Amino acid sequence: MARPVFVNAATAQSVAVFSYQEIIGDGFYKLPVLRTLRAAFPAARITWITTRDTVFASKLAPLTAGLIDEFRQHCGIGETVAGMFKPMPFREPYSLIIDTQSVVFRTLTLRRLPHGAFVSPAANFLFSNFKPKAGRVRPRHMVDRLTELIELAAGPVRAELPPVPVPADLLARAALTLPDGARYVALAPGAGKRVKCWPLDNFIALARALQASGFTPAFVIGPDETEWVAPLREAVPGALFPEQADVWDAGFSPLRTMAIARRCAAAVANDAGVSHMFGAADIPLLTLFGPTDSEKFRPRVTHGRVLRASDYGSQETRAIPLDAVLREMNMLLEGRT
């Protein structure tokens, strides 16, 4: 019997999605994919399988409620090549398995799970029951690549996705740190790798220019950059540091950063996890890219702009000129996207 063109969303009882892991940045930019997956299979039990851990089950768990029904972290699948020959750690059957990665030995291991249909980009879709049409151009952005996998199996998904919800208590606390009566612009000078950071002196100059235009800079400083708070306070009197306010519980929460972002008219961030937090909040956003591919990783926002170091002959974010950032920021704040 010929395999159906698509998996029937009405009869698919279970869908498994496999990835290696999700850290904060991965989790935020994949949120639209989770929501598309649920729209494609509204009645199915969705299991998220990872070789290592996933923030969907921890820091971002409030945002995945109703989207993912079960997690299988540290499952053993895809850890080593030997896994292709060892007994599988579990044997539950799935109506559909979606493999989001392309390392062949992991794909071959995953494919041993019982399934009705399997979709995977590995080896140019060699092991997949569903394949792109001839002449297809591979999507540049990661969200589009992952969405393509869903639509290969389910057909076109047309879903109006509402804004990502932020817990009401966090929104209320954010209003205490950034009270009504001012116009705020969030500035996030940090990144996991310092090579991706635009110079701190440039952020200071940008903050002063914003103040001159009637905006209040709100520096969003992560837990690895707290040594910057004191010099920034001295360099930019009147700037606010909402992540360092005493209204928050102990420990860093990316949902808190989203709540802070929702209080801001716009934001500037390096290519880092915080840019995807701002993206999930869907505020006007300027993202600064150095060595990474902006077409692949830029945050998805309604109003967004990107500056690339490569346009200035470098792979280092520091090559992006201050005047270019000021120009793009003014266009965002004026609503010209």
- CA–CA distance, 117 with 69 (Å, rounded to integer): 20
Nearest to 79 by CA among 39, 109, 45, 55: 109
11: pLDDT confidence band, cut at 50, 70 and 90? Answer: confident
- Angle between helix axes 200-212 and 322-333 (nearest 10 degrees) is 40
Average pLDDT (42-58) is 97
Give the model's pLDDT for residue 252.
Answer: 82
Burial degree of 145 (CB within 10 A; 0-12, 13-18, 19+): middle
Average pLDDT (118-143) is 95
Q: What is the pLDDT of residues 317-326, one digit of tens each?
A: 999 999 999 9
Mean pLDDT, the chain, whole residue set: 93
- CA–CA distance, 50 with 36 (Å, rounded to integer): 19
Give the model's pLDDT for residue 1.
Answer: 38
Give the model's pLDDT for residue 335.
Answer: 81
**Contact predicate 254/60, CB 8 Å:** yes
- CA–CA distance, 177 with 191 (Å, rounded to integer): 23
CA distance readout (Å), 19 to 71, 75, 141, 157, 274: 11, 11, 17, 21, 22
List the domain boundaries for the chain. Answer: 14-154, 168-333
Tokens of 51: 């070789």
Name the 3-class secondary structure at 99. Answer: strand
For the four alpha carbons of 254, 260, 264 and 268, in that order, the dihedral sign comes to negative
**Contact predicate 276/33, CB 8 Å:** no
Common-topology check for domains 14-154 and 168-333: yes
% residues pLDDT > 90 (the chain): 87
- Which residues lie closer than 8 Å to 41 by C-beta, 6 or more apart? 7, 9, 12, 15, 96, 154
Of 116-125, 153-162, 203-212, 285-294, which range is least confident? 153-162
* Rg of the chain over all Cα atoms, to the nearest angstrom: 22
- Angle between helix axes 254-261 and 168-177 (nearest 10 degrees) is 60
Average pLDDT (30-45) is 94
CATH number for 14-154: choose from 3.40.50.300, 2.10.210.10, 3.40.190.10, 3.40.50.2000: 3.40.50.2000
- CA–CA distance, 106 with 128 (Å, rounded to integer): 13
- The residue whose two tokens read 């540290």 is 74
% residues pLDDT > 70 (the chain): 97
| Burial annotation 226-237 (CB, 10 A radius, 16+ → b, else e) | eebeeebeebbe
| pLDDT at 269 > cutoff 60 | yes
**Contact predicate 2/119, CB 8 Å:** no
- The residue whose two tokens read 């001839």 is 134
Of 16-20, 70-74, 249-253, which range is least confident? 249-253
* Pair type for strands 266-270 and 184-188: parallel
CATH number for 168-333: choose from 3.40.50.2000, 3.90.340.10, 3.30.70.890, 1.10.530.10: 3.40.50.2000
10: pLDDT confidence band, cut at 50, 70 and 90? Answer: confident
**Contact predicate 306/286, CB 8 Å:** yes
- Which residues lie closer than 8 Å to 287 by C-beta, 6 or more apart? 268, 269, 270, 271, 275, 294, 298, 299, 304, 305, 306, 307
Average pLDDT (289-315) is 94
| pLDDT at 336 > cutoff 70 | no
Tokens of 208: 């002063």
DSSP letters of 147-196? Answer: HHHHHHHH------PPPPP--HHHHHHHHHHS-TTS-EEEEE---SSGGG
- Which residues lie closer than 8 Å to 147 by C-beta, 6 or more apart? 32, 33, 36, 139, 157
